[in-house]
Structure 1
Amino acid sequence: MEIKAFDDVYSNCSSVRPNFFDFLEADISKIFGEKGAFIVFNVYNSKNENDELYIESIFKLVRNVISTYSNVYGFILGTNDIIITFPNYNLTDIEKISCKVEVSLNNIMKIIEKPYLQLNKFTLKYNQNINSVEDFYELLFDNVMKQEESKEVSRVKLKSIIHMFTNNIRNTLHSYKYANELAFIDDVSGISNHRAGKLFLSKLIEEYMENRKGFAIMFIDGDNLKRYNNISYEAGNQMIRNLSTIIKSSIRCEDKVFRWLSGDEFVVILKDIDGQNTLKLAERVRKAVQVQTKNYIYPTTISVGVTHYPSDGKNVNDLINRAEKANAYAKSIGKNRVIKWNSSMAD
Structure 2
Amino acid sequence: MLNQNFCLDKATGFLNLFGLIKAVKAKKLGEQGCIVFFYVENLESLTYERSLECAKIFRSTFDTLVQTLRTGDLEWRLIPARIIDHDFVLIYPGGTGAETEDLAGHLKTQFYANLEKAGFGGQIYNYYILPYREEGKDPAAFLRLLFLSQINSAQGEEEGEFLRSVKSLIVNLSEHICQSYGLLSQAHNLALSDDISGLPNHRAAESILEEKLNKSLEAQEPFSILFIDGDNLKQYNDLSYQRGNLMIRHLAELLAGQLRRDDFLARWFSGDEFLAVLPGADREEAFRIGERLRSVVETATKHWP
Q: Normalised by the size of structure 1, how large is the TM-score?
A: 0.41
Structure with a larger share of its residues in helix: 2
Which is bigger in relative contact order (C-alpha 8 A, separation at least 6)? Answer: 2
Q: Normalised by the size of structure 2, how large is the TM-score?
A: 0.46
